[in-house]
Structure 1
Amino acid sequence: MLTDLGKTPAIAHEDRALLDETCRLTDRLADSLAENGFARHFVPERWNGGAGTFTALLDAVSVLAETCASTAWCAARYAAHGRLAAYLPEAGQREVWGDGPDVCVAASVMPPQGSAVRADGGWRLTGRWNTASGVDQAEWVLLASWAPADGSPADEAREHRIFAVRRPEVKVLHTWHPVGLRGTGSNSVEADVVVPDHLSFTLRDLARVQPHAARCHTVPFPLVAALIFAAPVLGAAEGALRTWWDAQTERMRPDGGTAAQQHVLARASAHIQSARLLLERAAQRADHAPVTPVLVAENQRDVSVAVELCGSAADELFRTAGLRALDEGDALQRRWRDITAARTHRTLDFGSAAASYTGALLVARTAEGAR
């Protein structure tokens, strides 16, 4: 399980500087994420993993993101990818975790990229995949391609298939030089490798209920995917508010400051606290609530709104921070850049969430009317 929140990885000043300079995690930070239980958080208990909760991950990742959103992003991804790898066949899971659960897994699974064709005993996987966060320090990489469905010719039925590949079998291309989340090392990879059947599963498999599985391995992928991406955004927004407030109090008048300062503080803090409530409710649903299509859509709705609230708060904090925030080393600017970068992720898109929510309600209403 994850360690106590008070023991989340400490991030040294020299590590933080290297993140922006090298556009990747330091090896020391990656090791600390494994040591502090992030990689094993969703690993099945039979492999000595945590089979943990989404609430615990939200809390730990958001706390870490108050200090460094890039490190927290990789922590969340390593945990999430361990959950995905739990859908490998038994022999594949044994190959990944047979020597222990603290295995960092990177991934590029959405959208499918590259090419997969049948080979003796498995699949020939070739091509290039983009944005595999934390791949430099990972031991395994999950890569997805469209592949012929079993028993179908290559030009007919196809399916979204995911392959587990050992990190040394892929070539990392250092393509990641973004404005924000620079330290995530979300580089591209190239591969030309044969992957055995026991190291592969399909996206449809994520919907199957595994016998005697923990709750985290029975909830549908769309219920929790956006939530895990949103956790670093929440922590970064809370860190931005603290940084802004510390700077304001240095020059605030004894009577409580100007009306403008008061309005920014009140509005931004309310937005961020509202976002936390929405994400905590989404995590509680994922951990405990009976799963229905409407519940899945509600989680997607709430997570996307929470990210929008964090983004609007960060925008206002940055806009009102003064000239000091324009310095490239400013802590508030860094958090604003990280939040802005995270908001571009397609999983957090409000438009898609709104469409899913409306569609789920219409289907539910139609079903009720047919009774």
Structure 2
Amino acid sequence: MTGLGTAAGTSLAAAATGVAALAADHAPAADRDRRLRPEVVAALVGAGFAGHFASPPGGPARGTFTELLRALVTVGEACASASWCGLIFATSARMAGFLPAAGRAELWRDGPDVPIATGLTPAGRAERVGDRWRVDGEWRFVSAVEFAEWALVRAPVGSGSDSCFFAVPRRRWTVRDTWFTVGMRGTGSNSLRLDGVTVPDHLVFPAEAVFRGSDDPGAPAFLRPPLLGGHPPLFAATALGAARGGLRSWTAKRPAGASAAPALARSSGELDAAGMLLERAAAAADSGDGPAARTARDSFVAAELVLGAVERLFRAAGTRAQAAPDPLERAWRDVHAATSHAALGAERNSEHYARHVWPADQ
């Protein structure tokens, strides 16, 4: 399958507008059914989200964090769950870029637009059996697992703290229906189960490679930032889009009352500020300028601004916004869910930034 960005010369950010229109039509159903409609998934893949950070051997690898950020915000305004699945497809492909060349050739043998999901939190167990790895276990909250053709699962190896990612094709795993949540319901973030699956070395890479980033001068530019310096602004982008969609819905109703004008001014200003922080963070990931710790800081601060803005709008809307399927009600739930992700954790990211400002050797 070829992404629209390649086939028609259309950028991902431009193609995202069409995805958003389709996703908006199906957003209530995705929220109700706890998974995206197949046509929305197909639109995400066709627009180029899955292939944005693909790096098949010898193939073009030109995706940028800035373009992806903007596309995620655009889709997020219409459906946060669709935006989140686009985010997972793109960031999972970036992580798969750390596979050996033979593994990348196998994964992307039919083209770059392969939807991939990731179990980022280490779980299960992996043990060496002959010249392969045997992997068993269950990974929870694997977003887009219902729609993926491949998955990356992280499992501990050896007796220490080391872990590896194992790439597994769809036919090798089973899905347990465990995703019953307040927000982000349409992501289908169910549990992935592996039972005695064997994985060859060319489909394995150390987790540390992702967290550290590539130091290979021949690697695509998007593989160079460490996880902390590349992924957090993208996770915040979905929340920003959802909040902007909530603001648009709230504003169109011209709410009355003394709190309306302050809510409009403060919340719209906070969302603008969050957008500027995330744009700077994405630009830093693209250029390599600026420390990863600042990118993580900007991202969690932006997430907190987004959360505060949508919370204020929700309060100002009164009880009518609490009734489903009001778009603000869904945005409020989705923003709360999205901003609780570990990538946007205030405590951890604050500590990273503090260590950058106050190095231990000073």
- For normalisation by structure 2, the TM-score amounts to 0.92
Q: Deviations over 1:51-94 (max 9, x none)?
A: 31100000000010000000000001100000000100000001
Distance (whole Å) between structure 1 residues aligned to residue 25 and residue 261 of structure 2: 35
Match of 1:363 among 341, 359, 362: 359
Match of 2:45 among 26, 34, 38: 34
Q: Residue 300 and residue 123 in structure 1: after superposition, are their counterparts in 2 closer, same or farther (change >3 A)?
A: same
Q: Would the aligned equivalents of 2:61 and 2:220 in 1 still touch at CA under 8 Å?
A: no
- Give the letter aligned to residue 15 of structure 2: K
Q: Does 1:182 align with 2:185?
A: yes
Q: Does 1:22 align with 2:33?
A: yes
- Residue aligning to 1:71: 82
TM alignment of 1:136-151, pairs within 5 A? 136-148=146-158
Q: Does 1:200 align with 2:210?
A: no
Q: Does 1:171 align with 2:171?
A: no
Give the CA deviation at 1:328. Answer: 1.5
Deviates more, 1:12-21 or 1:196-205: 12-21
- Residue aligning to 2:124: 114
SS at match of 1:87: coil
Q: Would the aligned equivalents of 1:41 and 1:49 in 2 still touch at CA under 8 Å?
A: no
- Residue aligning to 2:91: 80
Give the CA deviation at 1:246. Answer: 0.5
- Residue aligning to 2:348: 352
Q: Does 1:235 align with 2:241?
A: yes
TM alignment of 1:39-54, pairs within 5 A? 39-44=50-55, 46=57, 48=59, 50-54=61-65
Q: Would the aligned equivalents of 2:118 and 2:142 in 1 still touch at CA under 8 Å?
A: yes
Distance (whole Å) between structure 2 residues aligned to residue 164 and residue 158 of structure 1: 20
- Give the letter aligned to residue 38 of structure 2: D
| Structure 2 unpaired stretches of 5+ | none
- Residue aligning to 1:134: 144
SS at match of 1:287: helix
Distance (whole Å) between structure 2 residues aligned to residue 22 and residue 161 of structure 1: 33
SS at match of 2:26: helix
Q: Taking every aligned residue pair, what percent have the same amino acid on both sides?
A: 38
Distance (whole Å) between structure 1 residues aligned to residue 31 and residue 60 of structure 2: 32
- Residue aligning to 1:322: 318
Distance (whole Å) between structure 1 residues aligned to residue 361 and residue 249 of structure 2: 46
- For normalisation by structure 1, the TM-score amounts to 0.90
Q: Residue 54 and residue 364 in structure 1: after superposition, are their counterparts in 2 closer, same or farther (change >3 A)?
A: farther
Q: Residue 146 and residue 235 in structure 1: after superposition, are their counterparts in 2 closer, same or farther (change >3 A)?
A: same
Distance (whole Å) between structure 2 residues aligned to residue 230 and residue 49 of structure 1: 27
Match of 1:123 among 133, 152, 157: 133
- Number of residues of Structure 1 aligned to a counterpart in Structure 2: 348
SS at match of 1:137: coil
| Structure 1 unpaired stretches of 5+ | 149-154, 253-257, 367-371
- Give the letter aligned to residue 168 of structure 1: R
- Give the letter aligned to residue 363 of structure 1: P
Distance (whole Å) between structure 2 residues aligned to residue 312 and residue 90 of structure 1: 44
Q: Would the aligned equivalents of 2:35 and 2:187 in 1 still touch at CA under 8 Å?
A: yes
Q: Cα RMSD over matched residues?
A: 1.7
Distance (whole Å) between structure 2 residues aligned to residue 324 and residue 158 of structure 1: 50
Q: Would the aligned equivalents of 1:47 and 1:98 in 2 still touch at CA under 8 Å?
A: no
Give the CA deviation at 1:21. Answer: 2.3
Q: Would the aligned equivalents of 1:45 and 1:51 in 2 still touch at CA under 8 Å?
A: no
Q: Does 1:93 align with 2:99?
A: no
Q: Would the aligned equivalents of 2:300 and 2:346 in 1 still touch at CA under 8 Å?
A: yes
- Residue aligning to 2:113: 102
SS at match of 1:144: strand
TM alignment of 1:272-283, pairs within 5 A? 272-283=271-282
- Give the letter aligned to residue 253 of structure 2: A
Give the CA deviation at 1:361. Answer: 1.2
- Give the letter aligned to residue 5 of structure 1: A
TM alignment of 1:189-268, pairs within 5 A? 189-192=192-195, 193-206=197-210, 207=212, 208-248=214-254, 259-268=258-267
Give the CA deviation at 1:177. Answer: 1.1
